[in-house]
């Protein structure tokens, strides 16, 4: 059993198959050799003597939890200062919805403006630790920007696999960091498949493919931070925007690790999932009381970052929601736009549509009695709205044009009741 | 003299005319009644017993410097957690330019993604303190988003004055926060003039007009933070993107206040200005050895956030540059684009064109010997590149499209030398 920790490594971690339980040392492996199940990083938590005070004075980014991340040598850390983002006490939105204790975990202010900077920072660091010569990913959105930026900081070549029909603005954002875009004449699935083959052929570390076990570890810091920011008193309920299900499972893992370390006194956070109605395989399964997740063949939603029809971690996410006492809720495109606007108007946070999904789901959960008024609720807002203005442009009022004269201004202001 | 501090206020501040020196209590006044000169907030620094240790454990946003900001009652603070942004040690860019100690102060990760969140947070807080019923600004860019977001958080109506021909995406970003857009059939100057009249008529607090003395105080936190993040050892040299000159003067004021408080041991930071070549009235005056700043009638630059042809604080900025031993440098559109790309490729930070101006100016200053290799240099990067992809799109390489097969991939990868 000793070998599983890896030889000569300071940090005691190993990989474990989530399906059959087979254990492996922490090598470059991402699927079980026996059953092809996904691998997960396990830490020797008993050997860590972490106290709440251990984190005082630590850097204000996700690397403050170094002991709980799968990197052995701090010299390998690729740090753009992702993480330790703001937890807004959201009193105005809370009041509007009839809640008493609502928080927004604002991951729109990460270095490339989404939570993807967290797993990417870990995956690119691990790639350096493995001595890999190039990194990359298959993605058309937030992940591509995060990977390209961290590769730039690391000084590593970066290959981003995308379908060739993606928007010009995305190409700009990815390539300004110096990443090489491999534009595939085909679908996103084609890009993904070719990317997986390229890992084998060139030995590249593609963060969401062959680095996946390490990659997902970055996301659990969203659980760590919320607990620490609430003075180590875990919230009662969290709402997680859900695509592949990996983020939701990572957050659950985060709470569990803190509990096993004794840093939080209870592990009873209700973990709920929010999905767009046009692509809600996990939420639909929850509502139907099913144990299976039926893939959606043609996702149709303005929340493109959640449009994964066949979620890799869907069954695990479903189990986590049920066992934690959480619920699942979905939101139509119209509700998503309204959710984005409601959050911006009340709290000054402009989220991507995935954030609108969360706020719309929150609203429904409160209305349906799934959330009690005095529950301490945290909404995870995982990406910013700047890249997707079209998601709200249709429902916003058009500005009234006036001549540059006071009488024209008075006409439109006084009609409104003359605020001020 | 006692009255100037204001009656019954806990914090001892007053307003002082920068032209004639006349003093006023801290009221709603923004120009000297005698000479129409600009007013500046002065603090009774001698009465403050601030030590370096006073800031330990303070919140990680600009309000950690509450004693040095012009708000009396903390209950009035409108806080979206602007400030205390990352100071990146930029080793890769430094090496490329032949520097040893280069830092990027990354204000792209503020709540609305530019440094404007700092002055706006202060101005909207002060508006609440004055009991004002509505806020706003005249702006077409970053300031409008910052004001709208802070007004949302404060629950105040917000009026944003813009020329009616601004881009749809900007309208979306401003109005998603619930701000009312007043679209003027005319130029930006027309919008500005009408906004100033509206302040008088409706009693609104327009952050960059009648709240200006309080507003600019927010920006000096960019000096405070850099010193604190460098363990209270001030940098040798800072490079500031310059439009109206207010930011540069505020940063100088920040260093001076820290020095007078004894929090830094020297006040000899060289303060240099970077302007786009198509609108460089301050830098041109510097280079010409002039004491006057000649307005630019038709600014032409991709760095639109710096395109102020007649800078209100131009003469003060010029004086500050000279007295501090700084220099001025400009950058063409091409150099700006290259600067944006260089920063993104080496450090993983995607800046708006104003950031490209700073990096291009830095490069020139090093090449010309204006900056010595061992100087400790801080570049202020004040806005993000997401809103202005067009600034770099032309110079970026187009992605090569391939069929979704390994042989197609090999063709393009192996040609390049097979990295990895």
How confident is the model over B30-37, as a mean pLDDT?
Answer: 95
pLDDT in tens, B176-185: 999 999 999 9
Q: Does A183 contact B88 at a Cβ distance shorter than 8 Å?
A: no
What letters, b where the CB count within 10 A reaches 16 and e where it falls short, cover B132-164? bebbbbbbbbbbbbbbbbbbbbbebbbbbbbbb
Q: Chain centroid to CA B130: how far? A: 24
Q: Which region holds residue A149: left if phi is over 0, alpha if psi is between -120 and 50, else beta?
A: alpha
Q: How far apart are CA B274 and CA B326, in angstroms?
A: 11
Q: How far is B141 from chain A (nearest CA, A)?
A: 13
What letters, b where the CB count within 10 A reaches 16 and e where it falls short, cover B175-212? bbbbbbbbbbebebebbbbbbeebbeebbbbbbbbbbb
pLDDT in tens, B221-269: 999 999 999 999 999 999 999 999 999 999 999 999 999 999 999 999 9
Q: What is the mean pLDDT of chain B?
A: 93
How confident is the model over B377-392, as a mean pLDDT?
Answer: 92
Strand partners, A102: A377
- Nearest-CA residue of chain B relative to A132? B420
Q: Tokens 């009022």 sit at which residue?
A: A397
Q: What's the half-sphere exposure (Cβ side, CA atoms, 13 Å) at A140?
A: 21
Q: How far apart are CA B281 and CA B298, in angstroms?
A: 11
Q: Does B172 contact A60 at a Cβ distance shorter than 8 Å?
A: no
What pLDDT, on the 0 to 100 scale, is given for residue A420? 40
Residues of B in contact with A113 (CB under 8 A): 113, 384, 386
Q: What is the largest CA-CA distance in chain A?
A: 83
pLDDT in tens, A271-310: 999 999 999 999 999 999 999 999 999 999 999 999 999 9
Q: Chain centroid to CA B174: how far? A: 19
Q: What is the mean pLDDT of chain A?
A: 93
How confident is the model over A36-56, as a mean pLDDT?
Answer: 94
Q: How far is CA B185 from CA A337, A404, A409, B182, B332, in A?
A: 29, 6, 12, 10, 31
Measured distance between the N- and C-terminal CA atoms of chain A, rounded to whole angstroms: 72
DSSP letter (8 states) at residue B34: T
Of the candidates A110, A246, A270, the one whose C-alpha atom is nearest the C-alpha of residue B109 is: A110
Q: Does A389 contact B169 at a Cβ distance shorter than 8 Å?
A: yes
Task: Supply B76's token pair.
Answer: 């009035």
What pLDDT, on the 0 to 100 scale, is given for residue A1? 43
What pLDDT, on the 0 to 100 scale, is given for residue A416? 56
Q: How far is B359 from chain A (nearest CA, A)?
A: 15
pLDDT in tens, A264-273: 999 999 999 9
Phi/psi at B400 (5° precision): -85, 130
Residues of A in contact with B63 (CB under 8 A): none
Residues of B in contact with A110 (CB under 8 A): 109
Residue A3, pLDDT above cutoff 70? no
Give the three-state DSSP class for B158: strand
- Nearest-CA residue of chain A relative to B111? A109
Rounded to 10 degrees, the C-alpha dihedral B198/B202/B205/B210 comes to: 50
Burial environment of residue A51 by CB neighbours within 10 A (0 to 12, 13 to 18, 19 or more): exposed
Q: Does A392 contact B176 at a Cβ distance shorter than 8 Å?
A: yes
Of the candidates B120, B190, B148, B154, the one whose C-alpha atom is nearest the C-alpha of residue A396 is: B148
Q: Does B157 contact A419 at a Cβ distance shorter than 8 Å?
A: yes
Q: How far is A36 from chain B (nearest CA, A)?
A: 23
In chain B, count of helices (H) and strands (E)?
14, 14
User: β-pairing, A376-381 with B180-184?
Assistant: unpaired
Residues of A in contact with B153 (CB under 8 A): 92, 347-348
Q: How far is B205 from chain A (nearest CA, A)?
A: 9
pLDDT in tens, B94-131: 999 999 999 999 999 999 999 999 999 999 999 999 99
What letters, b where the CB count within 10 A reaches 16 and e where it falls short, cover B382-418? bbbbbbbbebbbeebeebeebebeeebbeeebeeeee
What pLDDT, on the 0 to 100 scale, is given for residue A90? 97
Rounded to 5 degrees, what angle do the CA atoms A17, A19, A25 make? Answer: 10
Nearest to A348 among B150, B184, B340 (CB): B150
Task: Supply B34's token pair.
Answer: 């005698």
Q: How far is B209 from chain A (nearest CA, A)?
A: 16
Give the three-state DSSP class for B376: strand
Task: Give DSSP secondary structure letters for B163-217.
Answer: ETT--HHHHHHHHTTTPEEEEESS-HHHHHHHHHHHHHHH--EETTTTTHHHHGG
CATH 3.40.50.1100: which residues of chain B?
Answer: 86-113+216-393, 117-212
What pLDDT, on the 0 to 100 scale, is given for residue B283? 98
Nearest to B345 among A134, A152, A409 (CB): A152
| Domain A86-113+216-393 annotated CATH 3.40.50.1100 | yes
Q: Chain centroid to CA B413: how far? A: 42
Q: How far is CA B373 from CA B87, B141, B190, B357, in A?
A: 19, 36, 46, 20
What pLDDT, on the 0 to 100 scale, is given for residue A164? 87
Q: How many CB pairs under 8 A join A and B?
A: 240
What letters, b where the CB count within 10 A reaches 16 and e where it falls short, cover A270-305? bbbbbbbbbbbbbbbbbeeeeeebeebeebebbbbb
Residue B2, pLDDT above cutoff 50? no
pLDDT in tens, B338-350: 999 999 999 999 9
Residue A31, pLDDT above cutoff 90? yes
Q: How far is CA A225 from CA A355, B75, B200, in A?
A: 19, 26, 46
Fold of B117-212: Rossmann fold (3.40.50)
Confidence of residue A362 (pLDDT cuts 50, 70, 90): very high
- Helices B246-260 and B221-229, axial angle in degrees (round to 10): 50
Confidence of residue B420 (pLDDT cuts 50, 70, 90): very low
Strand partners, B39: B17
Rounded to 5 degrees, what angle do the CA atoms B388, B394, B395 make? Answer: 110
Compute and round to an integer the Cα radius of gyration of chain A. 22
pLDDT in tens, A99-141: 999 999 999 999 999 999 999 999 999 999 999 999 999 987 8
Q: How far apart are CA A400 and CA B368, in angstroms?
A: 51
What pLDDT, on the 0 to 100 scale, is given for residue A112? 95
How confident is the model over A318-326, as a mean pLDDT?
Answer: 98
Q: How far apart are CA A124 and CA A321, in angstroms?
A: 30
Task: Supply A99's token pair.
Answer: 């809640």
Q: Tokens 């960091």 sit at which residue?
A: A177
Q: How far apart are CA A229 and CA A288, in angstroms?
A: 36
pLDDT in tens, A184-205: 998 888 888 999 999 999 999 9
Q: What is the largest CA-CA distance in chain B?
A: 83
Q: How far apart are CA B123 and CA B29, in angstroms?
A: 13
Task: Supply B148's token pair.
Answer: 């709208």
Q: Where are the alpha helices (DSSP H) in B4-141?
A: 91-97, 117-129
């Amino acid at each position: 059993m000793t070998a599983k920790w890896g030889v000569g490594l300071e940090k005691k971690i190993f990989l474990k198959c989530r399906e059959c339980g087979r254990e492996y040392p922490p090598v470059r492996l991402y699927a079980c050799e026996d059953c092809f199940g996904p691998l997960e990083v396990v830490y020797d938590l008993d050997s860590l003597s972490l106290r709440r005070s251990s984190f005082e004075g630590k850097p204000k980014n996700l690397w403050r939890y170094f002991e709980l991340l799968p990197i052995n040598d701090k010299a390998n850390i690729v740090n753009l200062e992702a993480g330790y983002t703001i937890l807004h006490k959201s009193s105005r939105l809370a009041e509007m919805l009839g809640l008493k204790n609502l928080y927004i975990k604002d991951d729109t202010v990460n270095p490339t403006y989404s939570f993807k900077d967290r797993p990417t920072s870990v995956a690119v660091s691990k790639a350096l630790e493995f001595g890999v010569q190039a990194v990359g990913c298959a993605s058309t959105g937030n992940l591509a920007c995060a990977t390209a930026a961290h590769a730039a900081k690391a000084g590593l070549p970066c290959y981003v696999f995308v379908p060739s029909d993606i928007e010009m603005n995305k190409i700009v954002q990815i390539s300004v960091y110096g990443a090489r875009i491999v534009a595939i004449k085909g679908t996103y699935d084609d890009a993904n498949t070719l990317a997986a083959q390229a890992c084998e052929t060139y030995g590249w570390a593609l963060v969401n493919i062959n680095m996946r076990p390490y990659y997902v570890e970055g996301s659990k810091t969203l659980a760590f931070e919320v607990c620490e920011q609430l003075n180590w008193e875990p919230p009662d309920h969290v709402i997680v925007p859900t695509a592949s299900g990996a983020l939701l499972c990572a957050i659950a893992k985060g709470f569990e690790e803190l509990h096993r370390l004794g840093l939080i006194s209870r592990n009873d956070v209700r973990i709920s999932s929010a999905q767009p109605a046009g692509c809600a395989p996990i939420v639909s399964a929850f509502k139907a009381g099913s144990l299976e997740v039926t893939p959606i063949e043609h996702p149709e939603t303005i929340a493109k970052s959640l449009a994964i029809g066949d979620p890799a971690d869907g069954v695990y996410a479903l189990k986590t929601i049920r066992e934690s006492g959480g619920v699942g809720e979905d939101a139509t495109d119209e509700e998503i736009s309204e959710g984005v606007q409601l959050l911006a108007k009340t709290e000054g946070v402009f989220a991507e549509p995935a954030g609108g999904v969360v706020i719309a789901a929150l609203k429904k959960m409160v209305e349906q009695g799934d959330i009690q008024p005095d529950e301490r609720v945290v909404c995870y807002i995982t990406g910013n709205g700047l890249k997707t203005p079209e998601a709200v442009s249709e429902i916003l009022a058009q500005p009234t044009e006036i001549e540059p004269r006071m009488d024209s201004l008075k006409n439109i202001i006084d009609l409104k009741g003359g605020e001020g």
